[in-house]
Chains A and B, each alone.
Chain A
């Protein structure tokens, strides 16, 4: 089964996240038998993503990039998925997870209307304290790891929330209050089928 990784890598936060995902997330997914099709750095652009989606049998899309209510962006803010500008078939029968700001607001539900099985993302700005960025990247990446473990979207959500709670407690107990509060904010804005069916089917799995 193939996973499409669409990762921007051009500013401090996307560079940090892309490096984290290459180091800690994709090796785990590969160890579970998935093949990673990479559209990273300069190939995190609409042209390459469209080509991969038409040529490869992709089951899951994940990525880090900038986002707005209606657009998921790649390298240098190249619009990769923009409402009204992508082909509905591109998302059909796929599960999608974006580590990006705001894409759950309109883009995620639009994906689901066009056949996406489940969408995971955030409906506001996603905040990261870079001096403890691994804690922030780690929590979000639990979604990818849980899907790779064969869980349903509902189980993935519960596992991700549990992981967020553990990291929030670790930060708070270590006296890192502002960091814990930011992580809690991100947790509260994680959108998934369990939160509302507009983000898909909670029984969806890879």
Chain B
């Protein structure tokens, strides 16, 4: 990648990736190290997914993403779109779902 610009360090381990049976978020570290009873992200309702993704975005040291036609989407707008579950918000939820899957794979393989 010719234009790679380093981004601030992101603590993937402490961000939520699932929910426990009483409705509390579970971090990646808790899910991987303690393997508690949980509702995985993929099984959450869209409403709960949107809350979890909004929290993940809120915890990022920096958030900036672009969509062709919507210019730069900053953290504030991203959280709003996700919470309202707009078309763009659902796209961001889908991307986080894929990211959580990748993080869980890497963490369980000891690569994170």
Contact = CB atoms under 8 A, between A and B. Distances in A.
Nearest to B63: A178
The interface centre, meaning the residue of B5, B102, B106 with most chain A CB atoms within 10 A of its CB, is B102
B81 to A, nearest CB: 10
Interface of B is mostly: mixed
B95 A67 contact: no
B95 A172 contact: no
Interface residues of B, number: 27
Interface stretch (B18-26, B42-50, B86-94): B86-94
A12 B1 contact: no
Contact of A126 (B64, B67, B72, B98): B67
Nearest to A102: B69
A148 interface: no
Contact of A130 (B12, B66, B91, B96): B66
A181 B95 contact: yes
B3 A180 contact: no
B102 A125 contact: no
A180 B101 CA distance: 11
Contact of A12 (B2, B69, B71): B71
A132 B69 contact: no
Interface string B80-112: 000000011001001110110011001000000
Contacts of B4: 131-132
B67 A127 contact: yes
A182 interface: yes
A17 B71 CA distance: 13
Interface in A54-68: 64-68
B3 A99 contact: no
Interface string A9-29: 001111001000000000000
Given A134-B3, A177-B102, A181-B102, A126 B68 contact: yes
9 contacts: A12-B72, A102-B69, A124-B87, A131-B7, A177-B102, A178-B99, A180-B99, A184-B98, A185-B94
Interface of B: 1-5, 7, 12, 64-72, 87-88, 91, 94-96, 98-99, 102-103, 106
